[in-house]
Amino acid sequence: MTPSAETKSDSAPNDEWLPLTDAAQLMGVHPATLRAWADRGRIASQRTAGGHRRFNRAGLQGWVDAHRSNDVGVQTLVHSVLGRLRLAMEQIDAPWMARFDEDARRVQRELGRRLMLEIAHAVSAPGVTDSAHAAAQGLGREYAALAQARSLPLAEALRAFLFFRDTIADSLVQMSSALEPVAAPSWQVVHRQLCAFLNEVLLALVTAYEER
Protein backbone atom coordinates (compact mmCIF):
# COMPACT_ATOMS: atom_id res chain seq x y z
CA MET A 1 0.00 0.00 0.00
CA THR A 2 1.29 3.44 -0.86
CA PRO A 3 2.38 5.25 2.31
CA SER A 4 0.60 8.46 3.33
CA ALA A 5 1.12 11.13 5.95
CA GLU A 6 -1.52 9.49 8.15
CA THR A 7 0.06 6.05 8.03
CA LYS A 8 3.46 7.56 8.68
CA SER A 9 2.36 9.30 11.87
CA ASP A 10 0.41 6.29 13.16
CA SER A 11 3.10 3.73 12.36
CA ALA A 12 5.59 2.19 14.72
CA PRO A 13 9.17 3.49 14.25
CA ASN A 14 10.23 0.40 12.27
CA ASP A 15 7.35 0.97 9.83
CA GLU A 16 8.15 4.63 9.30
CA TRP A 17 8.37 5.83 5.71
CA LEU A 18 11.05 8.45 5.08
CA PRO A 19 11.28 11.06 2.33
CA LEU A 20 14.30 10.99 0.05
CA THR A 21 16.41 13.53 1.95
CA ASP A 22 15.90 11.87 5.34
CA ALA A 23 16.50 8.42 3.88
CA ALA A 24 19.74 9.57 2.23
CA GLN A 25 20.91 11.07 5.52
CA LEU A 26 20.21 7.80 7.31
CA MET A 27 22.29 5.91 4.75
CA GLY A 28 25.08 8.48 4.60
CA VAL A 29 24.80 9.10 0.85
CA HIS A 30 23.77 12.01 -1.37
CA PRO A 31 20.03 12.09 -2.23
CA ALA A 32 20.92 11.82 -5.92
CA THR A 33 22.82 8.61 -5.20
CA LEU A 34 19.89 7.10 -3.31
CA ARG A 35 17.50 8.15 -6.09
CA ALA A 36 19.71 6.42 -8.66
CA TRP A 37 19.89 3.26 -6.53
CA ALA A 38 16.11 3.23 -6.25
CA ASP A 39 15.75 3.70 -10.01
CA ARG A 40 18.00 0.71 -10.55
CA GLY A 41 16.02 -1.39 -8.09
CA ARG A 42 18.95 -1.63 -5.70
CA ILE A 43 16.93 -0.01 -2.90
CA ALA A 44 13.19 -0.61 -2.45
CA SER A 45 10.91 2.43 -2.41
CA GLN A 46 7.28 3.40 -2.87
CA ARG A 47 5.45 6.46 -4.18
CA THR A 48 2.90 8.60 -2.40
CA ALA A 49 -0.33 9.62 -4.11
CA GLY A 50 1.47 12.85 -5.03
CA GLY A 51 4.32 10.95 -6.69
CA HIS A 52 6.93 11.52 -3.97
CA ARG A 53 9.35 8.72 -3.20
CA ARG A 54 9.30 7.12 0.26
CA PHE A 55 11.70 4.64 1.88
CA ASN A 56 10.98 2.25 4.74
CA ARG A 57 13.23 3.05 7.72
CA ALA A 58 13.57 -0.58 8.85
CA GLY A 59 14.41 -1.70 5.33
CA LEU A 60 17.06 0.98 4.96
CA GLN A 61 18.63 0.16 8.31
CA GLY A 62 18.76 -3.50 7.40
CA TRP A 63 20.43 -2.67 4.10
CA VAL A 64 22.99 -0.43 5.83
CA ASP A 65 23.82 -3.12 8.40
CA ALA A 66 24.21 -5.78 5.71
CA HIS A 67 26.42 -3.66 3.44
CA ARG A 68 28.46 -1.63 5.92
CA SER A 69 31.42 -4.02 6.16
CA ASN A 70 31.43 -4.67 2.42
CA ASP A 71 31.32 -0.97 1.53
CA VAL A 72 34.20 -0.15 3.88
CA GLY A 73 36.32 -2.85 2.28
CA VAL A 74 35.40 -1.92 -1.28
CA GLN A 75 36.07 1.79 -0.78
CA THR A 76 39.44 0.95 0.78
CA LEU A 77 40.15 -1.27 -2.22
CA VAL A 78 39.31 1.59 -4.62
CA HIS A 79 41.76 3.97 -2.92
CA SER A 80 44.42 1.26 -2.78
CA VAL A 81 44.09 0.49 -6.50
CA LEU A 82 44.26 4.14 -7.56
CA GLY A 83 47.40 4.63 -5.49
CA ARG A 84 49.00 1.49 -6.93
CA LEU A 85 48.11 2.56 -10.47
CA ARG A 86 49.73 5.96 -10.07
CA LEU A 87 52.93 4.35 -8.77
CA ALA A 88 52.95 1.59 -11.39
CA MET A 89 52.37 4.06 -14.26
CA GLU A 90 55.50 5.93 -13.20
CA GLN A 91 57.62 2.77 -13.14
CA ILE A 92 56.36 0.60 -15.98
CA ASP A 93 58.45 0.26 -19.14
CA ALA A 94 56.24 -1.25 -21.83
CA PRO A 95 55.90 -0.71 -25.61
CA TRP A 96 52.31 0.47 -25.29
CA MET A 97 53.31 3.15 -22.79
CA ALA A 98 55.64 4.72 -25.35
CA ARG A 99 52.57 5.50 -27.50
CA PHE A 100 50.87 7.42 -24.70
CA ASP A 101 51.67 11.12 -24.47
CA GLU A 102 50.62 13.20 -21.47
CA ASP A 103 47.11 13.81 -22.84
CA ALA A 104 46.62 10.10 -23.41
CA ARG A 105 47.85 9.30 -19.91
CA ARG A 106 45.47 11.87 -18.46
CA VAL A 107 42.57 10.23 -20.31
CA GLN A 108 43.81 6.83 -19.17
CA ARG A 109 43.91 7.94 -15.53
CA GLU A 110 40.39 9.29 -15.81
CA LEU A 111 39.21 6.00 -17.32
CA GLY A 112 40.92 4.21 -14.46
CA ARG A 113 39.04 6.30 -11.90
CA ARG A 114 35.74 5.70 -13.64
CA LEU A 115 36.51 2.00 -13.91
CA MET A 116 37.09 1.77 -10.17
CA LEU A 117 33.90 3.70 -9.37
CA GLU A 118 31.89 1.33 -11.57
CA ILE A 119 33.62 -1.65 -9.97
CA ALA A 120 32.63 -0.31 -6.54
CA HIS A 121 29.01 -0.25 -7.69
CA ALA A 122 29.25 -3.62 -9.44
CA VAL A 123 30.64 -5.57 -6.49
CA SER A 124 27.86 -4.25 -4.25
CA ALA A 125 25.22 -6.09 -6.29
CA PRO A 126 24.87 -9.81 -7.03
CA GLY A 127 26.03 -10.76 -10.53
CA VAL A 128 26.40 -8.30 -13.39
CA THR A 129 23.29 -6.12 -13.45
CA ASP A 130 21.97 -4.42 -16.58
CA SER A 131 23.40 -1.07 -15.48
CA ALA A 132 26.79 -2.63 -14.67
CA HIS A 133 26.78 -4.43 -18.02
CA ALA A 134 26.09 -1.16 -19.85
CA ALA A 135 28.84 0.60 -17.89
CA ALA A 136 31.32 -2.18 -18.69
CA GLN A 137 30.42 -2.04 -22.37
CA GLY A 138 30.93 1.72 -22.47
CA LEU A 139 34.27 1.56 -20.68
CA GLY A 140 35.49 -1.20 -22.99
CA ARG A 141 34.67 0.87 -26.05
CA GLU A 142 36.40 3.92 -24.58
CA TYR A 143 39.54 1.91 -23.80
CA ALA A 144 39.49 0.64 -27.38
CA ALA A 145 39.05 4.14 -28.80
CA LEU A 146 41.96 5.45 -26.73
CA ALA A 147 44.23 2.60 -27.85
CA GLN A 148 43.22 2.85 -31.50
CA ALA A 149 43.80 6.61 -31.53
CA ARG A 150 47.42 5.79 -30.58
CA SER A 151 47.60 3.09 -33.32
CA LEU A 152 48.01 0.28 -30.80
CA PRO A 153 47.43 -3.20 -32.26
CA LEU A 154 44.90 -5.31 -30.41
CA ALA A 155 47.58 -7.37 -28.66
CA GLU A 156 49.16 -4.25 -27.14
CA ALA A 157 45.76 -2.84 -26.18
CA LEU A 158 45.09 -6.09 -24.34
CA ARG A 159 48.47 -5.88 -22.60
CA ALA A 160 47.60 -2.37 -21.42
CA PHE A 161 44.23 -3.44 -20.05
CA LEU A 162 45.68 -6.56 -18.42
CA PHE A 163 48.19 -4.31 -16.68
CA PHE A 164 45.27 -2.51 -15.03
CA ARG A 165 43.46 -5.75 -14.27
CA ASP A 166 46.53 -7.28 -12.61
CA THR A 167 47.05 -4.14 -10.52
CA ILE A 168 43.46 -4.38 -9.31
CA ALA A 169 43.87 -8.09 -8.53
CA ASP A 170 47.09 -7.43 -6.59
CA SER A 171 45.32 -4.79 -4.52
CA LEU A 172 42.47 -7.18 -3.82
CA VAL A 173 44.90 -9.79 -2.48
CA GLN A 174 46.64 -7.19 -0.33
CA MET A 175 43.39 -5.84 1.07
CA SER A 176 41.99 -9.28 1.87
CA SER A 177 44.93 -9.95 4.18
CA ALA A 178 45.32 -6.43 5.60
CA LEU A 179 41.76 -5.56 6.62
CA GLU A 180 40.43 -6.57 9.99
CA PRO A 181 37.62 -9.14 9.72
CA VAL A 182 35.02 -6.59 10.85
CA ALA A 183 35.90 -4.33 7.93
CA ALA A 184 36.53 -7.02 5.34
CA PRO A 185 33.78 -8.10 2.95
CA SER A 186 33.52 -11.62 1.59
CA TRP A 187 36.56 -11.37 -0.64
CA GLN A 188 35.64 -14.50 -2.58
CA VAL A 189 32.37 -12.86 -3.61
CA VAL A 190 34.09 -9.53 -4.35
CA HIS A 191 36.70 -11.30 -6.48
CA ARG A 192 34.05 -13.14 -8.47
CA GLN A 193 32.01 -10.00 -9.10
CA LEU A 194 35.10 -7.96 -9.92
CA CYS A 195 36.27 -10.55 -12.47
CA ALA A 196 32.82 -10.72 -14.03
CA PHE A 197 32.77 -6.95 -14.51
CA LEU A 198 36.32 -6.75 -15.86
CA ASN A 199 35.62 -9.60 -18.27
CA GLU A 200 32.71 -7.60 -19.68
CA VAL A 201 35.01 -4.60 -20.17
CA LEU A 202 37.63 -6.75 -21.86
CA LEU A 203 35.12 -8.39 -24.21
CA ALA A 204 33.73 -4.98 -25.16
CA LEU A 205 37.26 -3.77 -25.93
CA VAL A 206 37.90 -6.72 -28.24
CA THR A 207 34.50 -6.32 -29.91
CA ALA A 208 35.18 -2.64 -30.57
CA TYR A 209 38.48 -3.53 -32.26
CA GLU A 210 36.77 -6.15 -34.41
CA GLU A 211 34.06 -3.71 -35.47
CA ARG A 212 36.62 -1.14 -36.59
pLDDT in tens, 36-95: 888 878 788 999 988 889 999 988 888 776 655 555 555 666 666 667 777 766 667 777
- Expressed as residue numbers, the domain containing 14 is 5-61
User: For the chain, how many structural domains are there in total?
Assistant: 2
| Per-residue pLDDT band at 203 (split at 50, 70, 90) | very high
Report the C-alpha gap between 14 and 62 in whole angstroms.
11
Does 116 lie in the same domain as 50? no
Residue 171: which of 30, 73, 99, 102 has the closest Cα?
Answer: 73
Does 178 lie in the same domain as 75? yes
Does 81 lie in the same domain as 54? no
- Mean pLDDT calculated for residue range 19-24: 90
Does 82 lie in the same domain as 43? no
| Per-residue pLDDT band at 144 (split at 50, 70, 90) | very high
Does 119 lie in the same domain as 152? yes
Report the CATH number at residue 50: 1.10.1660.10
Q: What pLDDT sits at residue 191?
A: 77
pTM of the model: 0.56
